[in-house]
Structure 1
Amino acid sequence: MKKILGVCIMIMLILASACGNVEMTSNPNNSSELKPATDESIIPKNTSEYCDIESINLDSEAEKYFYGTWKVEKHLGFANSYNDASEYPTGQKFIGDEIIIKQDFFSSKGLKNYSVYQYELKKPLYEITATCYNSDSFYRLYKIDIPDLNINDVVKVINISDPSTKIRVPLSFFVVNTDRLILLSEATIFELKKITD
């Protein structure tokens, strides 16, 4: 009985997978010919379902964009998993503050309203800890909606560590397509604007 049940389940799975995403088309020569139901324009160019999770050094493309003095321009929202109550609902205490990111120096002392974020590091360790190849994979990992994030955007997640202790600073950065920088502070996200290189 168990063997018969197992065979039936296997046949049902095979039939279900064979029937998925197929539509019947009329053909004067053979009316039962099957044709895949796909519209090439709706298939994302990069279909990577998950983010690459590994700690690697900054690549030259990210370095070129990432280094500079940045101003917190606007509040974008919150992670959907939890809210940082200190910034809810508008995140106004970060707006206008500055962060300095150089190859051999990092300072978040410009985030004046929060003592917990006051870091100044010489020779900081910058790492790309995740690379997401589309908005779905990014959301799946971080549960954050970034406004205007498109299906084929590449997001590199950068973390910063103290070189002596290897302890991470409690701030992360999202570099989107090497032309947009987003700050993650707890569950709050902000758009940054480069003011100097």
Structure 2
Amino acid sequence: MAITILKKAALLGLNPGNITRTARAERSDEIRTQVNAPILAYFRAVLRYCVFSDYRVVCYFGSWAVYRPDNGKFDVEDIDPSLCTHLIYGFAGLGESNSIKALDSWNELPDDYGKGEYRVMFLSDAFGRFVKLKAISPQTKVMLAIGGWNEGSSKYSDMASTASNRQQFADSVVAFLTKYGFDGLDVDWEYPAQRGGVDADKVSLYERARV
């Protein structure tokens, strides 16, 4: 096959190197499709079962994947929301006055932030684009996660330690989720009993969340 391609390339006056790379890329895409097909079929079968039961397929999207190079890049538009009962965007963070905040405004908010020539590579409004996935799969709950490893633990413990702090947090979350259209919040506090956190504060926060 490779020899035939090279002979044809020579006869047509084309660069054999480019032809070979193209053939390899096409073969790579073919293999990727063959591998992905049974995986997608499996998840769709699981999802169909979950729709008629109490089971959930919860899918996390790591927003930093948009910055991976080449084929590693994975953006909102690469998500198939029909595979999930719950789709979660990670992560938002905890800012001043115990308020939730965007961690990557450049990518997540609708403002352009002077992207200029990078506008082609990196779109704005990842929050908005993520929420619009519900148009593709209306039954999927689209949620936002706050926390993650990089956020640490101590400031979450401080936020949860008093009733007034917890109220500030709850009010800011309701306003934030309403503004950007998310269905709910996932608290990924890593971890309440480690890295400066106090385990008892976790109980206080979740008690408030039920109110």
Provide TM-score, normalisation by structure 1: 0.28
Greater share of residues in helix: 2
TM-score when normalising by structure 2 = 0.27
More relative contact order in 1 or in 2 (CA 8 Å, sep 6+)?
Answer: 1
